[in-house]
Amino acid sequence: MLQGQKVVIIGGSSGIGYETAKQVIAQGGEVIIASRSDQKLKTAQAQLGPQVTALTVDTTQEEQVQALFNQIGHFDHLVVTAAETSGGPFLHTYTSQSRQLFENKFWGQYYAAKYAAPHIRPGGSITLFSGVVAYKSMVGSSALGAVNAAVSNLGQTLALELAPLRVNVVSPGIIDTPARSKMSEEARNQFYATLGSKLPVNRVGRAEDVAQSVLYLLQNSFVTGTVLHVEGGHILI
């Protein structure tokens, strides 16, 4: 149970972060969701209920991240699902696009961990987000694979450096979330069906699958420095 615990979820307005917020609330926890878009936050807050606080932050802006945690004060658990990712052929992708991936997904999580840690109460934790392309090379994911690998490594080093604060990393496989809303519905369904049929579990993931793994990391006080792979056996194929 997370009764009496305050959980900050940056990225909580969508996908895995949103589902994590739902599961934390179901376990009796108090939730603060944060992301860039006021509109997305308002919609999520309306669905999650009045006990949720919503705050805007752009994690690429170091001073905004620092101000966010100064405003929040003491809390128990940080989860960072915030990311905007992209891919493309190595030789034909603008370097600026790859740098932007690092700005958003790596530096965003770095700032969040750095400015949150001093505010996290004893017994608390940090959960960061990597991804399967760090562990299974895929064409078109050179920069994203490197970003994810960097996040995993950051999390494991922080588990030593910030101890006894626990720090873990979740590495999702392909999960059906709004992250792929730019694809047409037809192309997305085709992609999920084709990949799902190849996975040992015979389907792609749902946000709930990954949220469950976050809840486990928040609550198991003997787990730190782990990279938890939630990917339906994708690395094996």
Binding site for ligand NAP (CB under 6 A): 10-11, 13-17, 35-37, 40, 57-60, 81-85, 104-105, 108, 129, 131-132, 172, 174-175, 177-179
Count of CB atoms within 10 A of residue 163's CB?
A: 11
CA distances from 126 to 3, 118, 121, 170 (A): 18, 12, 11, 11
Q: Which long-range contacts (CB under 8 A, 24 or more apart) does 100-104 make?
A: 101/143, 101/144, 101/147, 102/143, 102/147, 102/150, 103/60, 104/59, 104/60
Give min distance, CB of 84 to ligand NAP, in A: 4
CB-wise, 27 or 86, nearer to ligand NAP?
A: 86
Torsion sign (Cα): 86, 87, 92, 96? positive
> Least distance to ligand NAP from the beta carbon of 132, Å?
6
Q: Distance between alpha carbon 158 and the CA centroid of its chain, in Å?
A: 16
Instruction: Give the residue with the Cβ less far from ligand NAP, 174 or 215.
Output: 174
Report the nearest approach of ligand NAP to the CB of residue 222 (Å). Answer: 24
Name the residue nearer to ligand NAP (CB basis): 120 or 175: 175
Q: Coil, strand, or helix at residue 182?
A: coil
Active site residues: 130
- Shortest Å distance, C-beta 171 to ligand NAP: 7
> Is 121 or 231 the residue whose CB approaches ligand NAP more closely?
231
Structure tokens at 8: 């900050």
Separation CA 20–CA 133 (nearest Å): 22
First to last CA, the chain: 36
Give the pairing of strands 75-80 and 166-172. Answer: unpaired
Q: Which is nearer to ligand NAP, 2 or 21 (CB)?
A: 21
- Smallest gap from Cβ 55 to ligand NAP, in A, equals 10
